[in-house]
Chains A and B, each alone.
Chain A
Amino acid sequence: MSDAAHAHDDHGHHAHPTGIMRWLTTTNHKDIGTMYLWFALIMLFSAGTMALLIRAELFHPGMQLMHPDFFNQLTTMHGLIMIFGAIMPAFTGFANWQVPLMLGAPDMAFPRMNNWSFWLLPVAGIMLLGSFLLPGGAVAGGWTMYPPLFIQGGVSYDLTILAVHIMGLSSIMGSINIITTILNMRAPGLTLMKMPLFCWTWLITAYLLIATMPVLAGAVTMLLTDRNFGTHFFNAAGGGDPVMFQHIFWFFGHPEVYILILPAFGIVSQIIPTFARKPLFGYASMVYATASIAILSFTVWAHHMFTTGMPVASQLFFMFSTMLIAVPTGVKVFNWVATMWKGSLTFETPMLFAIAFVCLFTIGGFSGLVLAMAPVDIQLQDTYYVVAHFHYVLVSGALFSIFAGIYFWLPKWTGHMYNETLGKTHFWLSVIGMNIVFFPMHFLGLAGMPRRIPDYALQFTEFNQIATVGAFIFGFSQLLFLAVVLKTIKGGAKASDRVWEGAEGLEWTVPSPAPYHTFETAPVVK
């Protein structure tokens, strides 16, 4: 008997648990998708608060608000929670909601496992946030978990390693579910090359997750045994090599940055054709570009390590392989622009976020190319230039695509249109705030301000103050986002089934709000 059949029994019209038990025991992909998205939002606000504390401390040179060690805890936890708690669960939430709807499938392939992969996350989230209360505070060794700091730290380091294990397990289970759903549960006639691009990007992302998350699990397991069981994988005192950890970590870590951006490519590739009222330009090339990025991502890991004393030949190899990734990424940006070219464009909030994504992600991509050059990287390593680079790809890249996706599909999920004026206000506050925070960081980095340090030289004061003002604008405007979402859930103009004039695909054929059970009989795609 299939798991899907079980799920159906659980949520039959007669036995429907209510209250907290509905959410704890649910195997419905829509419920689970919703929970993923709320979890991601809570984590976004937690880690965002940490970011604001960091920026508040950096408003003036010298120490103002906190002990330097607490500052280090904040930078570490901000990174860990934003990546593993906010961005990744948000994308998995989208996958849960949209993949079955887009494929014409009744649910995910393994609904019970789906329930597990969500409910592991709050456990890990509580461990991470709770570690602030432990003696010695939370981990302060950077989100990259490098030894020797991660071998030497206190009890919160063990707890964080366990949390990373749990989150990794959750991601692997989620990915298995997504791959199996996409490969086995497409509606008749929906061939792989007819799939919406969001499904394609998630399929490839899920493969990346399955290939790299276990490697991260292995790396942190080695940290754990170095800490507690006397092994010396990375402990130089026993003949180990701390740089070895960096090699293993970045074997996971670089594909991970594409895990954080490929689903964003997928979301944007759904939104731009809708509001340009034209089919996506170069669909097949988009699929191949996504796959090329994924494959190339395994060959570039050591560009994070140019200053570890690599021989010139390796530096050249990793430098050129990194630059090669700009080619498929360029294909994608070209295709998005070509989709908009001569389209009947309208600029609703999702489209605004999608266009901002294309522009600002490209800036982040270009600063990435600058960093890819080994001689330049040696100068810029661990400066604010790096911080500016990865926030351009993760905030105006990943996060903006998440906002775009929420505004795009929220009418389908809730049955109500969001308030367009408030949505646009949220967009403009976000896009202006985001640039005020992160653009000055390019200059700070070029001038030599190091990252992850709570104090700085006097000449960096003005740009840091600009960045802090921008951070508070950006941070507090997300409360507006929360308000818009809550308002839309409670009420608003009735959304039509198709919601958007240019919307194409199976998910727009079901009523708005999408009923609890959809596609119990598979639609036929011609």
Chain B
Amino acid sequence: MTTGKSTTLTKLIVVALGMFGFGFALVPFYYKICEVSGINSGDEQSLVKNTQVDTSRWVTIEFDANTNEGLPWQFTPVQHSLKVHPGQLIQVEYDVANNSDHAIVGQAVPSYGPARAGAFFRKIECFCFTPQKLAAGERRRMPVLFVLDPSMDKDLHTVTLSYTFFNTDTKAQTAALRKTGAHG
């Protein structure tokens, strides 16, 4: 009787201690399971995954920058072209500098080549959404964040995103136009 009890006691204590260790073993165990089965690869889960990237094709995007005559600014894209998959989130930057001796407010207007590509540019953030004020001699880098809609026509292999900056002061604008008219 007594030996029966102490055997049971020993076995149960071993089980209890074993389960205490098992609690700790669960930590690497869970990590391993997730790693092997790919259930919970932390980064993928924490980022919202864009499932609509069309990896079957490449599109080249060309970036172009112009200023209207009435605006004494220097305006250039930081990168001139990119090869992307439609659906991919893309961020590019433009470089702009005010070379005059006074502050000017300008507004950029986009255009697309070919024109039908414009319908597939989904802009999330763009400096063209608001007027930009640059102090005399100020230089700035401005981002554009966008996605090319994956439903974009398959025959479009190269598209152009072009910006033209206009002076929001309409008097300066007309004055500049007259000047070019006189020359012409």
Name the segment of A210-218, A409-417, A461-469 touching the other chain: A210-218
Given contacts A179-B8, A184-B4, contact A215 B26 (CB under 8 A): yes
Decide: A309 and B45 in contact? CB cutoff 8 A.
yes
A 221-250 contacts with B by CB, 8 A = 221-222, 233, 241, 244, 247-248
Q: With both chains docked as a complex, state the minimum distance between the C-beta of B163 and any C-beta of chain A, in angstroms.
A: 40
B 38-71 contacts with A by CB, 8 A = 39-40, 42, 45
Decide: A214 and B8 in contact? CB cutoff 8 A.
no
B1 part of interface (Cβ distance < 8 Å):
yes
User: Given the complex of chains A and B, what is the CA–CA distance between A176 and B8 in angstroms?
Assistant: 8
User: Given the complex of chains A and B, what is the CA–CA distance between A311 and B12 in angstroms?
Assistant: 37
User: Given the complex of chains A and B, what is the CA–CA distance between A179 and B4 in angstroms?
Assistant: 12
User: Given the complex of chains A and B, what is the CA–CA distance between A145 and B45 in angstroms?
Assistant: 24
From B13, B15, B20, B30, contact of A218 by CB (8 A): B20
Decide: B19 and A212 in contact? CB cutoff 8 A.
yes
Decide: A176 and B16 in contact? CB cutoff 8 A.
yes
User: Given the complex of chains A and B, what is the CA–CA distance between A313 and B38 in angstroms?
Assistant: 12
Given contacts A248-B26, A251-B26, contact A211 B19 (CB under 8 A): yes
Decide: A217 and B20 in contact? CB cutoff 8 A.
yes
B22 part of interface (Cβ distance < 8 Å):
yes
User: Given the complex of chains A and B, what is the CA–CA distance between A251 and B4 in angstroms?
Assistant: 31
Q: With both chains docked as a complex, state the minimum distance between the C-beta of A182 and any C-beta of chain B, in angstroms.
A: 10
B27 part of interface (Cβ distance < 8 Å):
yes
From B17, B19, B27, contact of A233 by CB (8 A): B27
User: Given the complex of chains A and B, what is the CA–CA distance between A418 and B20 in angstroms?
Assistant: 44
Q: With both chains docked as a complex, state the minimum distance between the C-beta of A203 and any C-beta of chain B, in angstroms.
A: 12
Decide: B12 and A210 in contact? CB cutoff 8 A.
yes
Decide: A214 and B1 in contact? CB cutoff 8 A.
no
User: Given the complex of chains A and B, what is the CA–CA distance between A427 and B7 in angstroms?
Assistant: 45
> Size of chain B's interface in residues, with CB distance under 8 A?
25
Given contacts A214-B16, A309-B45, A314-B39, contact A247 B1 (CB under 8 A): no
Decide: B45 and A176 in contact? CB cutoff 8 A.
no
B 15-33 contacts with A by CB, 8 A = 15-24, 26-27, 30
Q: With both chains docked as a complex, state the minimum distance between the C-beta of A427 and any C-beta of chain B, in angstroms.
A: 38
A110 part of interface (Cβ distance < 8 Å):
yes
Decide: A214 and B39 in contact? CB cutoff 8 A.
no
Q: With both chains docked as a complex, state the minimum distance between the C-beta of B31 and any C-beta of chain A, in angstroms.
A: 8
Residues on A with beta carbons closer than 8 Å to the beta carbon of B23: 214-219, 221, 248, 251-252
A2 part of interface (Cβ distance < 8 Å):
yes
Given contacts A180-B5, A184-B8, contact A247 B26 (CB under 8 A): yes
Decide: B24 and A2 in contact? CB cutoff 8 A.
no
Given contacts A109-B5, A184-B4, A184-B8, contact A222 B24 (CB under 8 A): yes
Given contacts A217-B23, A244-B27, contact A176 B5 (CB under 8 A): no
Decide: A218 and B24 in contact? CB cutoff 8 A.
yes
Shortest Cβ-Cβ A-B pairs, 7 listed: A218-B23, A214-B20, A214-B19, A215-B23, A180-B8, A2-B2, A184-B4
Chain B residues engaging chain A, CB cutoff 8 angstroms: 1-2, 4-5, 8-9, 12-13, 15-24, 26-27, 30, 39-40, 42, 45
Extra 7 A-B pairs, beta carbons < 8 Å, given A172-B16, A244-B30, A313-B39: A2-B5, A109-B9, A110-B9, A176-B13, A184-B8, A215-B23, A248-B23
Can you identify 21 A-B contacts, CB atoms within 8 angstroms? A1-B2, A109-B8, A175-B12, A180-B8, A180-B9, A180-B12, A210-B16, A211-B19, A212-B19, A213-B19, A214-B17, A214-B19, A215-B23, A215-B26, A217-B23, A218-B20, A247-B30, A248-B26, A251-B23, A252-B23, A311-B40
